[in-house]
Amino acid sequence: MKKPKNWWYIWSKSLGEKASSCNKTSDKVAVVRTIIFVTYLITNCFIVAGVIRQWDRKTEVYIQVESESTVPYVTQSERKSNKPFEFE
């Protein structure tokens, strides 16, 4: 097994295929891919931290409706026919 050249070679290979035959251009693309990866990683860390922070919080929400004419919610009656696409 051949020993890899250095850490940048391994990292750029892990980001995906070589973007160009020119090494300079491929390195620039690898830097952009690294920046995108780091932003995804940071965003994911914030999401996980938010979930952990709110994990077992017992919050209660109270809704107060100030209206004199409140209409109760009535569910629709069940269909009497089980034929699909039948028009009433």
Q: Has residue 34 been placed in a domain?
A: yes
Domain count, the chain: 1
Q: What is the CA radius of gyration of the chain?
A: 29
Secondary structure in 3-state letters for the chain: CCCCCCHHHHHHHHHCCCCCCCHHHHHHHHHHHHHHHHHHHHHHHHHHHHHHHCCCCCCCCCCCCCCCCCCCCCCCCCCCCCCCCCCC
What's the predicted TM-score (pTM) here? 0.53
Per-residue pLDDT of the chain (88 residues; tens, 9 = 90+): 566 578 878 888 888 888 778 888 888 888 999 999 999 999 999 999 998 888 777 777 787 877 777 677 777 766 566 566 666 5
Q: Has residue 42 been placed in a domain?
A: yes
Q: Has residue 46 been placed in a domain?
A: yes
Structural domain containing residue 29 = 22-54
Q: Has residue 30 been placed in a domain?
A: yes
